[in-house]
Amino acid sequence: MTTKEQNDTLTRTGPGTPMGDLFRRYWIPALISEELGAPDCPPIRVRLLSERLIAFRDTEGKVGLMDEFCAHRGVSLWFGRNEESGLRCPYHGWKYDVTGQCVEVPSEPAESGYCGKIKLKSYPCVERGGVIWTYMGPPEHQPPLPEFEWNLVPDANRFVSKRLQESNYLQAMEGGIDSSHVSFLHSGELHTDPLHKGTKGAKYQKDTKPHFEVVESDGGLLIGVRRNAEPGFHYWRISQWIMPWYTMIPPYGDNALNGHAFVPIDDENCWVWSMTHKPAEPLKESEIHSMKNGEGMYAELIPGTYRPVANMENDYLIDRTLQKTGRYYSGVKGIGMQDASLQEGMGPIQDRTRENLVSTDNAIIMARHRLLKASRNLEKGVAPPALDPATHYVRSASVQLPAGASFKEDAKECLVARVGTSHVSPLSV
């Protein structure tokens, strides 16, 4: 059982908390690049790990991420003028560059050097894979950039989006590594969803008594879930959990590879990032169309926002008639929103002291233990796992193996990421 103290440690990620300190040692997906369009575009409010920040793209195209509030009188720089290589506060004209350095205080003589003494807290940013990444930890411990496969393929091979989830990151992430719920929550759509239909894997998900095998990997956890398949064979869904919050979803047949990142906004909200890619070919127009329209693990978004159309205020547009017929097992449309509805329904922060866990929850138990161990080790000066990009060169897989085979050994070639090489193999189903 998870104690209250453990639950508090796992779910609190603000400045100075054990988990907050741990997460700040990783590069964090902060924004989709297109959110900051052309140079000198309007600034954007950003909230990460309970910090209120402002992001802007300057005249040269460089991205800045810094404290939201002007050092003079605390005005939000969201109201600022993005002009001439800096963000100017509209109240008294103080101006800041992308590093947070104040470069002009109009009321003070330039020769006084006063503005050189003023600097807002800021974080370095790098654009990669259609994402603006930031590092919020100690500069001397800044790790190499993340090298997940979706980050490295050509733009045409990748689709990235995000949605707001009104819950703590942990209950969202734990849903991402829980393979047993697919046989129930998502069962109504496995034969119609664009990422599942027409595959044998959708049929095998009917086995509601999966067998879990979970082992530690260099980057996190390797999660093998075995279901009955054809006589003499087992169907394995093999997921990757990479610290601190990434999941890689096993593909069906030759469909694209998918993954998530569950990034805390604050203790009661998170960003659910969704990433889809093909290692060796562009995504089809039909695939991109379905993702942009909120099908499968993606969500239809309120225009101009990243909040889903189906949300807690409208009860996720639940249809009790369709729930009874089984078309949507929970009555909620879409795999992504089916997950979100139940995870948000737990409350902003789930009380894990009331759980009754079973064998199919082993991946969740081990992920919690690994996070807690990493935070304790960090307090002792031990660097966290999964900072080495080598731990990112992995894939998830769906395979059919002879009964008695070891998923870790007999499917290991399917679990290695090789950019430019298709993930489809004779074992794939």
Same domain, yes or no: 307 and 402 = yes
Cβ(397)–Cβ(407) under 8 Å?
no
Q: In what order do the strands lie in the sheet with 102-104?
A: 81-83, 86-88, 95-96, 102-104
Same domain, yes or no: 122 and 226 = no
Whether 369 maps to a domain, the answer reads: yes
Cβ(332)–Cβ(316) under 8 Å?
yes
pLDDT over threshold 60, residue 428: no
Residue 324 pLDDT = 86
Domain boundary among 141, 165, 192: 141
| pLDDT tens digits along 103-153 | 999 999 989 999 999 999 999 999 999 999 999 999 999 999 999 999 999
Whether 382 maps to a domain, the answer reads: yes
Residue 184 pLDDT = 62
Q: What is the CA radius of gyration of the chain?
A: 23
How many percent of the chain have pLDDT more than 70? 92
Which amino acid makes up residue 416?
V
Whether 422 maps to a domain, the answer reads: no
Whether 363 maps to a domain, the answer reads: yes
Whether 420 maps to a domain, the answer reads: no
SS3 228: strand
**Mean predicted confidence (pLDDT) in 192-208:** 60
Cβ(297)–Cβ(319) under 8 Å?
no
Domain boundary among 120, 141, 162: 141
Residue 100 pLDDT = 98
Same domain, yes or no: 109 and 177 = no
Residue 291 pLDDT = 94
Same domain, yes or no: 174 and 46 = no
| pLDDT tens digits along 288-345 | 999 999 988 899 999 999 999 999 999 999 989 888 887 787 889 888 899 999 999 9
Contacts of 2 (CB under 8 A, 6+ apart): 10, 352, 353, 355, 368
pLDDT band at 251 (very low <50, low <70, confident <90, very high): confident
Residue 209 pLDDT = 76
Cβ(262)–Cβ(176) under 8 Å?
yes
Same domain, yes or no: 231 and 184 = yes
One DSSP character per residue, 37-76 reads -STTPPPEEEEETTEEEEEEE-TTS-EEEEESB-TTT--B
Same domain, yes or no: 136 and 251 = no
Integer angstrom CA distances of residue 8 from 35, 350, 353: 33, 10, 11
pLDDT band at 187 (very low <50, low <70, confident <90, very high): low
Domain that holds residue 69: 27-141
pLDDT band at 92 (very low <50, low <70, confident <90, very high): very high
For 101, left (φ over 0), alpha (ψ -120 to 50), or beta? beta
pLDDT, mean over the chain: 92
| Token pair belonging to 308 | 């889903």
Omega before 244 cis (within 30°)? yes
**Mean predicted confidence (pLDDT) in 270-279:** 97
Whether 70 maps to a domain, the answer reads: yes
pLDDT band at 212 (very low <50, low <70, confident <90, very high): confident
Residue 203 pLDDT = 62
Residue 125 pLDDT = 98
Whether 383 maps to a domain, the answer reads: yes
Residue 53 sits in a domain whose CATH number is: 2.102.10.10
User: In total, how many domains does the chain have?
Assistant: 2
Residue 257 sits in a domain whose CATH number is: 3.90.380
Residue 188 pLDDT = 59
Same domain, yes or no: 64 and 171 = no
Burial class (CB in 10 A: 0-12, 13-18, 19+), 411: buried
Q: How far apart are CA 250 and CA 417, in angstroms?
A: 13
pLDDT band at 194 (very low <50, low <70, confident <90, very high): low
pLDDT band at 204 (very low <50, low <70, confident <90, very high): low
How many percent of the chain have pLDDT more than 90? 76
Same domain, yes or no: 122 and 57 = yes
Same domain, yes or no: 125 and 198 = no
Same domain, yes or no: 174 and 43 = no
Whether 429 maps to a domain, the answer reads: no
Same domain, yes or no: 182 and 57 = no
Helix residue ranges, H only, 188-293: 200-204, 285-292
Cβ(203)–Cβ(305) under 8 Å?
no
SS3 30: strand
Query: Between residues 199 and 78, which one has the greater pLDDT?
Result: 78
pLDDT over threshold 70, residue 164: yes
User: DSSP label at 209?
Assistant: S
pLDDT band at 210 (very low <50, low <70, confident <90, very high): confident
Q: Taking Cα atoms as reference points, which of 363, 369, 367, 357 lies closest to residue 225?
A: 363
Domain boundary among 125, 141, 157: 141
